[in-house]
Amino acid sequence: MSKALATGFILDDYEHANGGHARPAVRAAAIGCWLGLRMRSTKRFIAVAIATGLVSGGSGAAIPASALAAPEPLARKPGVYRVTTQAVRTHSGPGSTYGVTGVHKAGMLLAASGRNSKGWTEVFLSTGGSAWIKSVHLTRATGTVYKVQAQPGANFRSGPGTNFRQKGFLKHGVIVPGTGNTKRKWAQLLLSSGELVWASTRYIVLMNATLTAPAHAGPPAADAPEDPPKEKRTR
């Protein structure tokens, strides 16, 4: 709906409640409301509407101020999300005034914790800890989420086996999204850097939908391949 059309509906509603007539001042106020919308000033729109009785306090039918309020910011539930915009920055807190923690390309997967604040969503980093990203840059994606449960952590490799080169190390407690691909008790993970790697399910555990507990009770399968943790470098 256009802003002008919305203003027209408000004016029509007022006229209908007052015998089909609107005072010139009310018409002028409606135009003022439309100009306020044109200037993208929700506060001005509401202030003018209240002052003239279009919302409350006038002789006409009241229109709830909540109907004119700005929409609630986007909120993302726990799970895997895909970055939809190129070169999106994450910050150490829910706002652009916080320090930049990284830059993420379009198509990357991130695991969201379910915490949201004023249009920002908290996401986990494979380097440990978390960061915040604007919710509008995320869209729900298919995938899995794993948590490193081994002490002091787990190796990650270029392929699904100990015969593949070790590329780095994930610390204990790190939460990282998976692509959904598994092979011979190895799971493919997507690091915050955008790198695809593999880790043994002996050392990482699949999380449930709310990311609050393992998806399955008990330790990883006993026949999962051993890959003794060896801290080479952290990504």
Res. 178: pLDDT tops 60 = yes
Q: Look over the chain and give the mean of its residue pLDDT values, rounded to a whole number.
A: 78
The model's confidence at residue 117, banded by pLDDT at 50, 70 and 90, is: very high
Tell me the one-letter amino acid at 45: F
Q: Which long-range contacts (CB under 8 A, 24 or more apart) does 87-92 make?
A: 88/133, 88/134, 88/137, 89/133, 90/123, 90/125, 90/131, 90/132, 90/133, 91/120, 91/131, 91/132, 91/133, 92/131, 92/132
Which pLDDT tens digit goes with each residue over 118-156? 999 999 999 999 999 999 999 999 889 999 998 899 999
Q: SS3 for 71?
A: coil
What is the arithmetic mean of pLDDT over 39-54? 52
Res. 50: pLDDT tops 80 = no
DSSP 173: T
What is the arithmetic mean of pLDDT over 203-218? 82
3-state SS of 131-157 is: EEEEHHHEEECCCEEEEECCCCEEEEE
Is the distance from CB of 108 to CB of 132 less than 8 angstroms?
no
Q: Which of 209, 177, 174 is nearest to 80 (CA)?
A: 177
Is the distance from CB of 227 to CB of 167 less than 8 angstroms?
no
Is the distance from CB of 101 to CB of 90 less than 8 angstroms?
yes
Backbone angles phi, psi at 184, to 5 degrees: 50, 50
Which pLDDT tens digit goes with each residue over 6-45? 444 444 444 444 444 445 544 545 445 444 544 455 555 5
Residue 88: predicted pLDDT: 94
The pTM of this model reads: 0.65
Beta bridge partners of 168: 156
Residue 168: predicted pLDDT: 94
